[in-house]
Structure 1
Amino acid sequence: MKYLLLLRGINVGGKNKVVMSELRAQIEALGYEAVTTYINSGNAFFETEEPLERIKTKIGDMLATYPFTIYHVILSRDAYLADAAQVPDWWQEPLARRDVLFYTDQVDYEDMKARIQAMPLHDEVVYFGDRAVFWGKYTESEYLKTSYHKYLLKEDFYPQITIRNGKTFDKLRDLLG
């Protein structure tokens, strides 16, 4: 089965450096096959027949060897594509910004959902998928007024989500397809 590993907060502004070629080698050393990465922001694909819980343990132990915490998400191809297939029609509209917030196992989903639902949306739309929150912003000029910009960064759960823009989300979907 094919899997996608998403890392949070790496290679941003010269901090939390993870070299993709080294990451590929580390994943291969765990016994996983067909290991590839996409761009430098921590998107890795691999194949294995191991159960997901075993994969999570092995990847978690590997990432714990870094001198900084790396929150991460591991999704099966089927889980990712299922979320992608369920996005609302507005996701395909010409939005100014589209972001996908993947939540790690450390996030309390119900609490996160309630907090986001309590935010006053301004020129934006939100959809809760099975493993991610899809957030669209209609106009660039209104971005600074959105809850995404004004409130999300202040949330306790923010460090435990990893965000991909809509273009990257779509590309990852295509690569998994």
Structure 2
Amino acid sequence: MKYIALFRGINVGGNRKVEMKKLKGLFESLGYTEVSTYINSGNILFESDLDTKSVLTKITKTFEKTFDFEIPTLVKTEKEMKKIADAIPKDWQNDPTQRTDIAYLFPEIDSKKIIEELPFKKEFVDVRYTKGAIIWNIKKVNVNKSNLAKLISHKLYKSMTIRNVNTARFLAG
């Protein structure tokens, strides 16, 4: 089965540095095949015959032993990633006028109700839920009015990992 591992918070702001070449080697040493990385923020594509839960357990245990720190990790099947990407309206892009991001949700907060708990000013941000993620689009002129920046200090922020729309579409194949 094809999987995508999403690591939360590596190589961001100079903290928790992990070389993608080393991470790729780690995955290969676990017996995963067709391993590739995408950009430097912790996106790994690979194949395995194991189920999702076994894959995640194996990755998290080995990661912590190898790098001496814990990193929250999501493992999604290619099918799950495609479903999330397909939920993004085609005209939602990153361009000079708009910004689109996807927050992949850890299981403990994966619910449509999450939208009501987030600090966004909904009149400025179009936010949508799909199983496993929330997707938002904002006109760049409204970024400061939207309270989007408050997400970083919100209690739910630690239970999600965010990618831009281009990365999300790439990872979905």
Q: Which TM-score band (shorter chain)?
A: 0.7 to 0.9
Residues in 2 aligned to 1:39 and 1:93: alpha-carbon distance in whole angstroms: 17
Q: Aligned letter for 1:154?
A: S
Q: Secondary structure at the match of 1:70?
A: coil
Cross-structure match for 2:20:
20
User: In the alignment, which residue of structure 2 is the partner of 1:70?
Assistant: 71
In 2, Cα distance between equivalents of 1:114 and 1:125: 13
Whole-angstrom CA distance in 1 between matches of 2:80 and 2:39: 21
1:2-151 superposed matches below 5 A: 2-65=2-65, 66-88=67-89, 91=92, 96-107=98-109, 109=111, 112-116=114-118, 119-138=120-139, 140-149=140-149, 151=150
Residue 68 of structure 1: how far off its partner (Å) = 2.9
| Conserved 8 A contact 1:34-1:47 | yes
Moved over 4 A (4+): 92-95
Instruction: Give the alignment's TM-score, normalised by structure 1.
Output: 0.86
Percentage of identical aligned residues: 31
SS of structure 2 residue aligned to 1:45 = strand
Structure 2 stretches of 5 or more lacking a match?
A: none
* Pair 17,93 (structure 1): closer, same or farther in 2 beyond 3 Å: closer
Write the letter of the residue equivalent to 2:11.
Answer: N
CA deviation vs aligned residue, 1:58-98 (integer Å, no higher than 9, x gap):
11212222333311111100111112223345536965110
How many Å separate the matches in 2 of 1:54 and 1:30?
Answer: 12
Instruction: After TM superposition, give the deviation of residue 136 of structure 1 in Å.
Output: 0.5
Which TM-score applies when normalising by structure 2? 0.88
* 1:121-171 deviations in Å (ceiling 9; x for gaps): 142100101111101111x2321111322x312211102211101121122
SS in 2 for 1:144: coil
Which residue matches 1:156? 155
Letter in 2 for 1:172: L
Contact kept in structure 1, 2:105 and 2:159, CA below 8 Å? yes
Q: Could you list the runs of 5+ residues in structure 1 that have no partner in the other structure?
A: none
CA contact (8 A) 1:38 1:44 kept: yes
SS of 1:62's partner is helix
Whether the 8 Å CA contact 1:106–1:160 is kept in 2: the answer is: yes
**Preserved CA contact (<8 Å) 2:103 2:161:** yes
What secondary structure sits across from 1:168 in the alignment?
helix
- The residue that corresponds to 1:166 in the other structure is 165
